[in-house]
Amino acid sequence: MQSEIREISPVLVEVTVEVPWDRIQKDLNDTYKEIGKTARVRGFRPGKVPRDVLKQVYGREAAAQVTGTLVEQGLMQAVQEHELHIVAQPQMEEAPALEKGKPLTFKAKVEVRPKIDRVAIDALEAWQAPIEIPNEDVDAEVEGLRNQHAEIQVPDPMRGAKEGDLITIDYTVSVDGEAKDDLGAEGRQVEINDDHLLPALKEGLLGMQPDEEKTIEVAFEDDHPNPELQGKTAEFTIKATRLHEKLLPELDDEFAKDCGDYETLLELRLKIREGLESSAKQQGDARLKDQLIDSLIEHNDIPVPPSMVQQQQQMMMYEMAQFMQMAGQQGAPGADFFSGIEERAQRRVQAGILLGSLARQEGIEVTEADLDAKFQEIAEQSGKHVAKVRADYQEAQRDQLESQLLEEKVMALLTERAKINEGERPEPDVQPETQKDESAEDEGEE
């Protein structure tokens, strides 16, 4: 077989394969021999059907079988011979047909990974702000713990609801005079300082006592997620049924002991600060990684095969569906998810190709020692024996772990080589459209 390729674009090539007649004839002969062993033709015993009769009865089947095999083998040989890194099934231009005495020639278009001579990483730049946890953030966490450990009781004597109370209500909702049964509820407990509570509702609930009824008007924004409420004013007819108050514990060492293995309030606050700093570091590292990848793509503008982008989009939709299922959410992802999904998928593909090429360029690989260290780390975190952890990571899971470790090594290299500025990343200068138009006109005049 002979083959040649023609580059249509950096990610698409046309493969032409020619199979000589003597190879075709040999495969046809072999195929007829196999068919003849089991062929049943009236008037002949199995295995004794003459070749001419076999051709008449099974000619089309034999030709189709031989053609399919030769196409598959020819494309495979061409891919290996020309070292093509294909990313999708080859697409035949037209179905090839056998002609006696003539070679079989066929063409196919194949998507391939772009060839990258060298990944440029010397001019990468990113920004990282120092971690600063204000005392107010620690105070907020402590207040959250106080609320979790609060005692709930009925006010005695009974009084009107105030900030921080829990009020249980029955309510109905009407919009433009039309009752909306699906928006009402019974026995709904509401915390009056709840951040998610609509301001008008919060104001209306303050001062209410059990058995008191009130109608509260609530105006909704034009972009409210519920289409029934967009830009409309709803009437909430509310009846308070129960009222409870929270008795918050004193902020002292005894409170710290109730919260866990702490001896003093100071020890609790230090542990909270440590957790906030760890969380802030993880978020900062994630932002730094995104910036480095953005910079890597900016300095290595490579085309990507469309099929890889489509596959990545499907993977992203699958991941979102899994996340929604775990979160107990029903329905399809919102419009925000699909907005720009193709661009996000393309960025992921570009990043994957560049990081893989960089690993090969710099000779970065994952060793057995790296895996053993990771298995030990997982064992210590999970409390499992390291042998059990190693047994859990087989085949696909092990491959996934190796990919993760390889990416971590490559990102460590990028962090080391890049220029990391201290502080927040500056916003890019956006040139006004009018100024762009004027600049374009000036260039045209020149």
Domain of residue 48, CATH code? 3.30.70.1050
Percent of the chain's residues with pLDDT above 90: 69
Residue position matching structure tokens 């301001």 = 199
Contact 355, 410 (CB under 8 A): yes
pLDDT band at 198, cuts 50/70/90? confident
Over residues 54-87, the pLDDT tens digits come to 888 888 899 999 999 999 999 999 999 999 999 9
pLDDT score recorded for residue 97: 85
Output the domain CATH number for residue 172. Answer: 3.10.50.40
CA 402 – CA 202 distance, rounded (Å): 52
Question: How many other C-beta atoms are found inside a 10 Å radius of the C-beta of residue 312?
Answer: 20
Q: Angle at Cα 229 formed by Cα 224 and Cα 232, nearest 5°?
A: 105
User: Which tops the pLDDT comparison, 425 or 104?
Assistant: 104
Residue-wise burial string across 55-78, b where 16 or more C-beta atoms lie within 10 A, e elsewhere: eebbeeebbebbbeebbeebbeeb
**392 — phi, psi (to 5°)?**
-70, -30
C-alpha 251/C-alpha 269 separation (Å) is 11
Residues 6+ apart with CB under 8 A from 223: 230
Residue 190, pLDDT > 90, answer: yes
pLDDT, one tens digit per residue, over 279-299 is 999 999 999 999 999 999 999
For residue 307, tell me if it sits in a domain.
no
Determine the pLDDT at residue 436: 52
| Cβ-contact 430, 400 below 8 angstroms | no
Instruction: Report how far residue 414's alpha carbon sits from residue 124's, in angstroms, rounded to the nearest whole number.
Output: 8
Residue 353 has pLDDT above 90, yes or no: yes
pTM of the model: 0.74
Instruction: Report pLDDT for 148.
Output: 92
Same domain, 17 and 100: yes
- The predicted pLDDT at position 446 comes to 44
Tell me which residue range forms the domain holding 171: 151-247
Q: What tens digit of pLDDT does each residue of 233-272 get? A: 999 999 999 999 999 999 999 999 999 999 999 999 999 9
Same domain, 183 and 97: no
pLDDT in tens, 126-138: 999 999 999 999 9
Query: 422, 128 in Cβ contact below 8 A?
Result: yes
In a domain, 41, yes or no: yes
94 and 164, same domain (yes or no): no
pLDDT at 403: 93
Q: How does DSSP assign 221-244, residue by residue?
A: -TT-SSTTTTT-EEEEEEEEEEEE
Domain-located, residue 67: yes
Are the beta carbons of 390 and 375 closer than 8 angstroms?
Answer: yes
Q: How many CB atoms lie within 10 A of CB 413?
A: 16
pLDDT digits (tens, 9 = 90+) for 83-132: 999 998 999 878 788 888 999 999 999 999 999 999 999 999 999 999 99
Looking at the structure, tell me whether residues 242 and 166 fall in a common domain: yes
Please say whether the beta carbons of 242 and 167 come within 8 A: yes
CA distances from 89 to 16, 29, 325 (A): 15, 29, 32
Assess contact for 281 and 131: CB atoms under 8 A: yes
DSSP 247: E
Element of type H or E holding 191: strand 185-191
More confident residue, 429 or 165: 165
Q: How would residue 195 be classed by pLDDT, with cut points 50, 70 and 90? A: confident
Where among 247, 270, 296 does a domain terminate? 247
Residues 6, 66: one domain?
Answer: yes
Residue 221 inside a domain? The answer is: yes
Shared domain for 6 and 93, answered yes or no, is yes
Structure tokens that stand for 230 in this block: 């967009």
User: CA dihedral defined by 434, 437, 438, 444, rounded to 10 degrees?
Assistant: 180
Bridge-based pairing of strands 185-191 and 151-153 is: unpaired
On whether residue 395 sits in a domain, the answer given is no
- Examine the fold and report which residue of 198, 231, 247 is the final residue of a domain before the chain moves on: 247
* Residue 357, in any domain of the structure: no
Question: Per-residue pLDDT averaged across 386-392, rounded?
Answer: 93
Question: How does residue 437 score in pLDDT terms, banded at 50, 70 and 90?
Answer: low
Q: Is the pLDDT of residue 429 over 80?
A: no
Q: How many domains does the chain have?
A: 2
Q: Which pLDDT score, from 0 to 100, does residue 43 have?
A: 79
Check: CB of residue 204 under 8 Å from CB of residue 137: no
Q: What letter does residue 161 receive in the DSSP assignment?
A: -
On whether residue 330 sits in a domain, the answer given is no
Domain for residue 52, yes or no?
A: yes
Looking at the structure, tell me whether residues 100 and 170 fall in a common domain. no
The residue from 247, 273, 301 where one domain ends is 247
